[in-house]
Structure 1
Amino acid sequence: MTSKISFLYINLFLLIILFLACSNHKKTDGSDSNDYELSENSLPMMKPSNLDYPRLDANFINAKRASIDRFCQKYWKNEANNLSFLVAKNGEIIYERYQGIANRRKNISIEKDTPMHIASVSKVLTATAILLLIDNGKIDLDQKVNTILKGFPYPKITVKNLLSHRSGLRNYAYFTEDKGVWDRKKTLTNQDILNLFTQKNIKLESPTDTRFCYCNTNYAMLALVIEKITGLNYREAMQQMIFKPLGMNNTYVFDLEKDRKTATPSYKASNMELALDYLDAVYGDKNIYSTPRDLLKFDLARNAPTFLNPKLRSQVYQGYSNERKGTKNYGLGIRMVEWETGQKFYFHNGWWHGNTSSYIPLSKDNVTIIALSNKFNKNIYAFKKLAPLFGDYPFKLEAGEKEE
């Protein structure tokens, strides 16, 4: 009799365990799920690159440095034009340039450790966190967003649609200007954007996955996905998953209330400081502050062969915006130029208030080019012209920019 009772207790225990396991299983059928939060020890994290590249030849460094310096003298000769810039090969910095004023009110100059707003280059880091979660089986690339975010009203949109800007969502900076949608005296948050979709019946700009449309709303929603899956706010999740493990000690996600008085301000070309506005609390699409040296650490880790499984990695660098024939395309969190010859050039630019940025990973050449400015200047986007110094990229180099 005792053995039968023991057997029943064991079976009951096993049934309870099975029930709990099933109740925590990830839902992908279109229903809302609240069972995603990860424990601290299961949070995926980037790993620093441990590749042992050969040291660069001194003649190589001197030649490249001279060419880059001529380029800078052409585009950034005026020391009043703010710039934080480096070029590295094999992880070795071969050229750096820091000039201008970080904060005019406090007379603080731009130095190598000065964090600056990287604008839409933030999207690359947000996408990287999402890719880490996918690679570790926490979510699926083709998973419907409404299975993760409660109240997300667009049933066809997937994580992949957000990453590739094919969701059809409207830009929050535009629809919050519509009459009666939002009081622009109030600070807008990521959760507010999600709430407005339903509360104000915000329609899609276009049917999901019918066309490419670059839209900040996609990455504001991806930040909420990161929060839901990790159980952390976006700032802490990015710190734990990317910044801290890579030693990005001068990188952080801007907190409007905490950092507004200490963050590096931005300026018009006329040196007029630009005020913060009601959109400055939204993150994921922007609002990461960093330095070229920190972003170099990130780039080396992101381009290490151990980052992501081969299938997912190939999907990142595949173009998804080619409804019309052309060279411009967009992957999963990265812009690209694809020439008919098969050559590809990957990059991401940014612009927010007076902040401009350019991130250029020449992965096959083991070269990283990073340029940031907190004083509006479109010359930041000209740094792609340095790519032909290191590989076969058909950008036109102007007189004085060619290699010796």
Structure 2
Amino acid sequence: MFNNILTDREERQQVEVPASFTAASAQKLGHQVDSIFTYLHKRRGFNGTVLYTKYDQVIYKGAYGYADFYRKDSLTTQTAFQLASVSKQFTAMAIMMLKEQGELDYDDTVQQYIPSFPYKGVTIRHLLTHRSGLPNYTYFSDELWPDRKKSITNDDVLNLMAEHKPRVFYKPDTHFNYSNTGYFLLASIVEKVSEMSFAAFMHQHIFEPLQMTNTFMFHDLESQTGKVATGHTRARQKRTSDYQDTVLGDKGMFSTVEDLYKWDQALYTQKLVRRETLEEAFRGSRPEEKKDEDYGFGWRIKAVDSGDTVVYHAGLWHGYTTYLLRNPKDHSALIILSNLPNGSLQHLKEVRSFLYPAQPVTIANNEKKQGKAAGAKM
């Protein structure tokens, strides 16, 4: 259908490294990050893997706790976790790749690709930005799917929507409302356009070109030979598979912190899409209610204490919690994967404040601000 990595897209987006960022300072920062997550592990019960980068360098990577609490099987940074909603940025990338190749347009309606879809006026862009107004399939399928012991697929959910027409929340493009439905629909559109399964598309056009060798979809789980973390309840009991696990696009990817670092680094190149195509994924889409953060294509957008604008996404699904944050200003990334949703990641605000601290206000800056204020009054 189209080429993968193009040789003329290999040039990296560069970042200026300040003189203050030395091997010694990087090592000190790595020790500090280790101390933070060691504390979260020992005192707050964090169980998972971490990788932190700055200026494109891996500053720290580590693993804390078990892949399986029953087996006492230690985690490593090559252990794969269910990514939950961190999967959404990959689904958005698949759509961007197809758009760049002229196979679809963001303002095309869903009905152009899925004629049985019962709601008019919903576009691909609405799905990408959570502005479709559609109800969340994770709720309405609980009511409409007859046998929860039988796995449900993307096509099954499409059939439920066509038959039962679950009530929409609002008209398209009037509000932001986070919904998994939009991203399972995007995966279904990828399948219709590419004429291949969503899993096969992701492997062929993203995972393999980026050498993400420990990244795969839920359907590949049984064939995996590498270590995969078991999802647990808060009480450290094993979570069993759920009938909704087989719906892809909004979730369903497994990966490691090391493979996600490859993904992060690829986004500073044009290996997958051109830079101008990717930039649109990091633009906001909520003009009526931006508040503290905005949403692009599979990415949340917000300012941190330092004043930098970062893009990130978190995930929570059946025994897994995940988090991936990128700061384009200093090419840093914080990647956290956990298989114990016990609330330990509620302390991420403090972690972000340490990594991206507010700039101290100096006397000179205060005098400058006061001078501007006095000039404005005059």
Q: Which interval holds the TM-score relative to the shorter structure?
A: 0.7 to 0.9
Distance (Å, rounded) in 2 between the aligned partners of 1:240 and 1:260: 17
C-alpha distance 279-181 of structure 1, shift in aligned 2 (>3 A): closer
The range that moved more, 68-77 or 80-89, is 68-77
Does residue 240 (structure 1) correspond to residue 204 (structure 2)? The answer is yes
Q: After superposition, give the CA deviation of every residue in 1:106-131 in whole Å (9 maximum; x if it has no partner).
A: 44211121111111100011111111
Tell me how far 1:247 sits from its aligned partner: 0.6
Tell me how far 1:321 sits from its aligned partner: 2.8
C-alpha distance 271-244 of structure 1, shift in aligned 2 (>3 A): same
The range that moved more, 252-261 or 363-372, is 252-261
2:134 to 169, 179, 202: 169
Question: Tell me, what secondary structure is at the counterpart of 1:349?
Answer: strand
C-alpha distance 130-220 of structure 1, shift in aligned 2 (>3 A): same
Cα RMSD (Å): 2.9
What letter matches 1:113 in structure 2? Answer: Q
2:156 to 188, 192, 211: 192
Q: Which residue does the alignment assign to 1:288?
A: 253
Q: After superposition, give the CA deviation of every residue in 1:73-115 in whole Å (9 maximum; x if it has no partner).
A: 3322359642110101233211111021112344421112111
Mapping of residues 222-237 of structure 1, within 5 Å: 222-237=186-201
Does residue 313 (structure 1) correspond to residue 278 (structure 2)? The answer is yes
Tell me how far 1:148 sits from its aligned partner: 1.4
What letter matches 1:116 in structure 2? Answer: F
Does residue 85 (structure 1) correspond to residue 50 (structure 2)? The answer is yes
Does residue 130 (structure 1) correspond to residue 115 (structure 2)? The answer is no
Distance (Å, rounded) in 1 between the aligned partners of 2:69 and 2:37: 23
Tell me how far 1:163 sits from its aligned partner: 0.5
Q: Which residue does the alignment assign to 2:365?
A: none
C-alpha distance 390-258 of structure 1, shift in aligned 2 (>3 A): closer
Question: Tell me, what secondary structure is at the counterpart of 2:246?
Answer: coil
Distance (Å, rounded) in 2 between the aligned partners of 1:340 and 1:66: 22
Tell me how far 1:165 sits from its aligned partner: 0.5
Asked whether the 8 Å contact 1:358–1:381 carries over to 2, the reply is no
What letter matches 2:235 in structure 1? Answer: S
Asked whether the 8 Å contact 1:46–1:242 carries over to 2, the reply is no
Tell me how far 1:182 sits from its aligned partner: 3.8
Q: Which residue does the alignment assign to 1:297?
A: 262
The range that moved more, 378-387 or 46-55, is 46-55
Does residue 120 (structure 1) correspond to residue 112 (structure 2)? The answer is no
1:367 to 315, 328, 332: 332
Q: Which residue does the alignment assign to 1:142?
A: 107
What letter matches 2:92 in structure 1? Answer: A
Mapping of residues 251-266 of structure 1, within 5 Å: 251-255=215-219, 258=222, 263-266=228-231
2:60 to 95, 118, 123: 95
Asked whether the 8 Å contact 1:181–1:200 carries over to 2, the reply is no
C-alpha distance 256-188 of structure 1, shift in aligned 2 (>3 A): farther
Tell me how far 1:260 sits from its aligned partner: 9.7
Tell me how far 1:54 sits from its aligned partner: 8.5
| % identity of equivalent residues | 31
Tell me how far 1:147 sits from its aligned partner: 1.0
Tell me how far 1:391 sits from its aligned partner: 4.7
C-alpha distance 340-154 of structure 1, shift in aligned 2 (>3 A): farther
Q: Which residue does the alignment assign to 1:33?
A: none
List alignment gaps of at least 5 residues for structure 2. 360-378
The range that moved more, 61-70 or 358-367, is 61-70
Q: After superposition, give the CA deviation of every residue in 1:213-251 in whole Å (9 maximum; x if it has no partner).
A: 100111111111111121111111100111101010110
Question: Tell me, what secondary structure is at the counterpart of 1:76?
Answer: helix
- Give me the TM-score of the superposition, normalised by structure 1: 0.79
Question: How many residue pairs align between the two structures?
Answer: 353
Distance (Å, rounded) in 2 between the aligned partners of 1:382 and 1:341: 18
The range that moved more, 292-301 or 318-327, is 318-327
Asked whether the 8 Å contact 1:44–1:133 carries over to 2, the reply is no
Question: Tell me, what secondary structure is at the counterpart of 1:365?
Answer: coil
Does residue 202 (structure 1) correspond to residue 188 (structure 2)? The answer is no
Asked whether the 8 Å contact 1:345–1:362 carries over to 2, the reply is yes
Distance (Å, rounded) in 2 between the aligned partners of 1:116 and 1:154: 35
Question: Tell me, what secondary structure is at the counterpart of 1:210?
Answer: coil
Asked whether the 8 Å contact 2:306–2:356 carries over to 1, the reply is no
Question: Tell me, what secondary structure is at the counterpart of 1:166?
Answer: coil
Tell me how far 1:393 sits from its aligned partner: 5.8
1:357 to 313, 322, 336: 322
Asked whether the 8 Å contact 1:126–1:223 carries over to 2, the reply is yes
Distance (Å, rounded) in 2 between the aligned partners of 1:253 and 1:181: 23
Distance (Å, rounded) in 2 between the aligned partners of 1:217 and 1:278: 16
